């Protein structure tokens, strides 16, 4: 399979539904993007946990946003995307927007590193790490990354 084809699959199975789940406030759709063996690392808070703990934290956070009548918008830009036929490592920058009724949008930025595995024809996240790197990640950092459909295959391992 060509590198661009693998990256397109990952976009279809992980990154597009990830953004959609945030926009819709659909925590269960978001949780479903993760393998039951996922390891989640929150670099800012020093938290590390597995699927059940992470799912619980996500449900609480999405519920809090819903109660506040907030709307989420998450976007990704990629710094590197290394893929094989059934495993990938992707690093990049995210911009998370949170908007409440009648208020301005609040923005957060962070670096992410995910590892995905392909099982039964579907890509799922097995490791998810993010951090704002001590507050040093910003719009300029975000702008340096590539859009998800900009496939620079020079850094895609085969």
DSSP labels, 10-55:
HIIIIIHHHHHHHHHT-HHHHHTTEEEEEEEEETTTTEEE-HHHHH
Q: What is the CATH number of the domain that holds 79?
A: 3.10.450.50
Cα separation, 73 vs 18, whole angstroms: 10
Predicted confidence at residue 86, as pLDDT, reads 95
Say if 44 falls within a structural domain: yes
Q: How many domains does the chain have?
A: 1
> Which residues, including other chains, have CB under 8 Å from residue 27's CB and lie 6 or more apart?
21, 58, 59, 62, 63
Say if 78 falls within a structural domain: yes
Could you tell me the end-to-end alpha-carbon distance of the chain, in angstroms, rounded to an integer?
A: 10
Say if 11 falls within a structural domain: yes
Say if 101 falls within a structural domain: yes
Say if 49 falls within a structural domain: yes
Say if 158 falls within a structural domain: no
- Flag whether pLDDT at 52 surpasses 80: yes
116 lies in which domain range? Answer: 3-153
Over residues 57-116, the pLDDT tens digits come to 999 999 999 988 889 999 999 999 999 999 999 999 999 999 988 888 899 999 999 999
pTM: 0.90
């Amino acid at each position: 399979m060509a590198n661009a084809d693998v990256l397109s699959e990952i976009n279809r199975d992980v990154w597009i539904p990830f953004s959609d789940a945030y926009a819709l406030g659909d925590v269960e759709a978001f949780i479903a993007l993760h393998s039951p063996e996922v390891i989640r690392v929150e670099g800012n808070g020093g938290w590390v946990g597995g699927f059940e703990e992470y799912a619980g934290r996500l449900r609480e956070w999405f519920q809090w946003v819903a109660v506040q009548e907030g709307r989420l918008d998450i976007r990704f830009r990629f710094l590197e995307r290394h893929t094989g036929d059934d495993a990938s490592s992707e690093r990049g920058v995210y911009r998370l927007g949170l908007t409440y009724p009648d208020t301005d949008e609040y923005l957060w930025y962070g670096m992410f590193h995910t590892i995905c595995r392909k099982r039964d024809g579907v890509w799922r996240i097995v490791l998810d790490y993010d951090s704002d790197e001590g507050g040093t990640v910003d719009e300029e950092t975000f702008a340096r990354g590539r859009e998800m459909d900009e496939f620079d295959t020079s850094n895609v391992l085969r």
